[in-house]
Amino acid sequence: MKFAKSACIEPMYSEIPFLDRFQAAKDDGFEFVEFWSWTDKDLDAVKAAAEKAGVGISGFNGDAAYSLIDPTHKEKYLDFLRKSVAAAQKIGAKSVTIHSNALGDAGIVVNHYTELSDTVKLCSMYDMLLECAKIAEESGIAMNLEPLNITTDHVGNYLATTRMAAEMTRLIGSPMLKVLYDVYHMQLNEGSLCDNIKAYADQLGHIHVADAPGRHEPGTGEINYTRVFQALEDCGYTGRVGFELFPETTTANAVKAIMSY
């Protein structure tokens, strides 16, 4: 199977201006692009650049300075999420990504919430995700819940395993709320990539690709991406695969490695 490919144009194509990256990604064979934040973007310009290039917009982060696991954040979290959904509708994006903890600059976890019990964190996340699912279903904008690595990039993040994320979305049972399975993050946290893909295939809404260690293109680290992509195909995954990675040298070289798979 040939998966629809999405280039994350924040870390990729950094050699050129942001609005030029849409055409560059399209020219390189990507059907979609994605990026991290929307509040720092000119949405009209983003929409125009994507339409001119003929490339789809897979999505962007839908939360900001608020956390799913903090019950005092519920109103503010959902209010910002609705604004993110409106932004996605404006530019024609397919989805937004959501996280357990608020992330600051460079993805640093803003608050580790060591004072909150697991009971409070889990119940708060479940309660808010029920509302997230409703917003997704009403808007037509899918939501993907992303576990993050807690060893290297996002120390202190609560949601760290495929199992927790997938069991949460299974319990909620909405076709519009799934898991963003980031192969790089999950290799660092838990390994057993193909086993977890098989176990939770029904809950995978989006895939992120980078090699580990280093978070560069496939082939630069220890992950056997031939096996990973085969596992996705064997399990019937039909969604998009997003390449959220920092090129080891240049974007051009990273694209060559990506397309070799």
pLDDT tens per residue across span 92-102? 999 999 999 99
How many whole angstroms separate alpha carbon 62 and alpha carbon 70? 16
What mean pLDDT comes out for the span 213-230? 98
Residue with tokens 């989805």: 95
Q: What average pLDDT does the chain have?
A: 97
- Please give the angle made by the CA atoms of 248, 45 and 94, to the nearest 5 degrees: 70
**Is residue 192 left, alpha or beta, with left meaning phi > 0 and alpha meaning psi from -120 to 50?**
left
Bridge partners of 207, per DSSP, are: 181, 241
- Asked whether residue 186 carries a pLDDT value surpassing 90, the answer given is yes
Locate the domains of the chain by residue range. 4-259
Can you name the CATH fold of 4-259? TIM Barrel (3.20.20)
Among residues 157, 255, 149, 141, the alpha carbon closest in space to that of 205 is found at 141
- Of the candidates 52, 125, 43, 53, the residue with the CA atom closest to the CA atom of residue 84: 43
Q: What does the pLDDT average to over 29-37?
A: 98
Choose between 1 and 230: higher pLDDT: 230
Letter for the amino acid at 249? T
pLDDT classification of 181: cutoffs 50, 70, 90: very high
Distance CA 174, CA 107 (A): 28
Q: How confident is the model at residue 1 (pLDDT cuts 50, 70, 90)?
A: low
pLDDT in tens, 126-166: 999 999 999 999 999 999 999 999 999 999 999 999 999 99
* C-alpha torsion 119→123→124→126, nearest 10: 140
